[in-house]
Structure 1
Amino acid sequence: MSFPPSQTVAVYGTLKRGQTNHALLADSRYLGRDRLEGVALYHLGGYPGAVEEHSGSVAVEVYEVSARTLRSLDRLEDFDPENRRQSLFLRKERKTRFGATWVYLYNRPVSHKRRLSGNWPPS
């Protein structure tokens, strides 16, 4: 899969500043914060997962990322564009105040998961 030289990605969990996987964004430019509407956050253990839900919203940080970084994020999120059904997360485009932005949405049922307030880490 080919990527443009840079794109934007919205992160809501372990990729946020101060979290365990933030180092993957070391070569990325922080654009700011936003809130994604129509998305709810669930506690999956050591990390959260966002799913499309009409009544939810999630706090995100938005970054401009290189194609190399986007490929690294795809690996972290277990997203395989050639096998979307088996992917743990799906990369989908959502509107933010910074324009169209990629976000990783959880690709499994959440019926037995605890819903969060829309912020990670949970309080």
Structure 2
Amino acid sequence: MKHMVAVYGTLKRGHNNSHLLKGARFIGEDSLSGLTLFNLGPYPGALAKPSEGVLVEVYAVNDQILTELDILEDYFPAAPGDSLYLRKRMATKHGPAWVYIYNRPVQHQQRISSGTW
């Protein structure tokens, strides 16, 4: 396991994309006050904006799982401007972890004030 990833939406345990983290090691939970969560319909998106906190699950993942997560999140390292999400390293209580940050406008999306999806 080479990478730490913090997830906040459909990748969390019990949600429809959690199977992509099979083989990853669950590290623990945290609340990241550097994020604000928005309801995008079938999934949430977080922006790097201060809030009361967004509940995340932190996992240790290998290169293959990280690549699969990049594909799910439409993250294109070679063309970040075309990406639906960007990957940003953020501090968690378990150490630095990658977080997928929504890369589109959210002015018409509802903010999720609870920070929990």
Instruction: Give the deviation of 1:54 after TM superposition.
Output: 2.2
RMSD: 0.9
Instruction: Give the deviation of 1:114 after TM superposition.
Output: 0.3
Name the CA distance, whole Å, in 2 between partners of 1:110 and 1:56: 18
| 2:26 alignment partner AA | Y
**5+ long unaligned stretches in structure 1:** none
Instruction: Compute the TM-score of the two structures, normalised by the length of structure 1.
Output: 0.92
The range that moved more, 12-21 or 56-65, is 56-65
Could you tell me which residue of structure 1 aligns to residue 87 of structure 2? Answer: 91
Could you tell me which residue of structure 1 aligns to residue 115 of structure 2? Answer: 118
Name the CA distance, whole Å, in 1 between partners of 2:92 and 2:51: 17
Higher strand share: 1
Could you tell me which residue of structure 2 aligns to residue 14 of structure 1? Answer: 10
Q: Deviations over 1:88-118 (max 9, x none)?
A: 0000000001111000000001100000021
3-state secondary structure, aligned to 1:110: coil
1:1-123 to structure 2, matched below 5 A, reads 6-116=2-112, 117-120=114-117
**5+ long unaligned stretches in structure 2:** none
Instruction: Give the deviation of 1:19 after TM superposition.
Output: 0.1
Name the CA distance, whole Å, in 1 between partners of 2:8 and 2:57: 7
Q: Which contiguous aligned blocks of 4+ residues in structure 1 show a shift greater than 2 angstroms?
A: none
Instruction: Give the deviation of 1:56 after TM superposition.
Output: 4.3
| 2:16 alignment partner AA | T
| 1:6 alignment partner AA | K
